[in-house]
Each structure stands twice: as structure tokens, then as C-alpha cells.
Amino acid sequence: MRYRDCPTVEVSQRVAASPDRAWRAVCDIGLPARCGGELQAARWLDGATEPAVGARFEGVNRNEHLGEWTTTSTVVEVEPGRRWVWEVADVASGPWSRWGFEVDPVRDGVVMRQWARIGPGRSGLSLAIDAMPDREARIVEVRMAELADAMRGNLDRVRTELEG
């Protein structure tokens, strides 16, 4: 697995909730910060209050290996009630990653999905790969597993909140 191939990870969770309630939950940009993962805080920028194409938000992140940093994300796709996607980007190097939430109605609730694709822009992960290029595949594999664990935590939290 190579960083330049923009690997993707996705997790899903079946939840006994209405599509509207699930949608509102996954549109809460503060959700991951409440789940104890890397995101410590998030806030909408420029007067935005919800996902809309072009809306931006700031995230404060912390990782034991990379330290603390702030990101700016831009919403790049919205299909109301169904899907929203944002990019974490650096003006100089392009998108570090692309993230999304999806809500699909099923007979007894919804299936929620969160996914992330890393790259192609340089990120903190690039620094680790630069320092140990012979371990790139392992570095990427470990990072993708970390992201999957965090996303599972996010969706488990939503399920707990929505199912009571």
C-alpha cells in the first residue's frame, strides 16, 4: 500500500433510527471530538453552520506521534439527507485527505458509513514516510487502521446516542 495510491478506508454501522435523525448526527462536525480520537475540537468558519458546498471548518488535532496541529477543511459535496464530503487541504500541496459520511435508509433504520481517503497532498504522514521510505507500506497500513478505529468509535457513538 503506497501513499501515492490514495488508499481508502470505510466503516459502516446499522442503526435503528430515522434517516433524518441519523443525518443530523453525522452532520455534527464536533462528533469525532466527543469520541476521544485524534480530533480534539472543530468549529465552522465564515458563518457556516452546516454542511454546504464551499463551507469551511477548522479542526484541532492531536496524535501521540505527530503532536498537535490545526487543519482547515472544505465541504466539496453534499447530497442532503444522504451524503456529505470534505477535503482537508493545504494550499501548497493539495488535499491531504478526503472524508465523508453517508446515510442509507434500510427497512429497520439506516446504514451509516464514514470513509476517508488519504493523499495525494503531503501531510504529517508524509514526514514519517520521508524518514523511513523502506517502511512506507507499514506506515500507511498502521495509519489506515488508526483511522478505521476512530471511525468505528464515531459510528458507535452515534448508534448509542440515537438508539438510547
* Alpha-carbon Rg for the chain in angstroms: 16
The domain that contains 80 carries what CATH number? Answer: 3.30.530.20
Q: Which tens digit of pLDDT belongs to each residue from 52-65?
A: 999 999 999 998 87
Look at the block and give the residue holding cell 503531503. Answer: 122
Residue 94, domain extent: 3-163
How many domains, in total, are found in the chain? 1
Mean pLDDT calculated for residue range 81-108: 91
Looking at residue 164, its amino acid is: G
Per-residue pLDDT at 33 exceeds 90 = no
Q: What is the pTM of this model?
A: 0.92
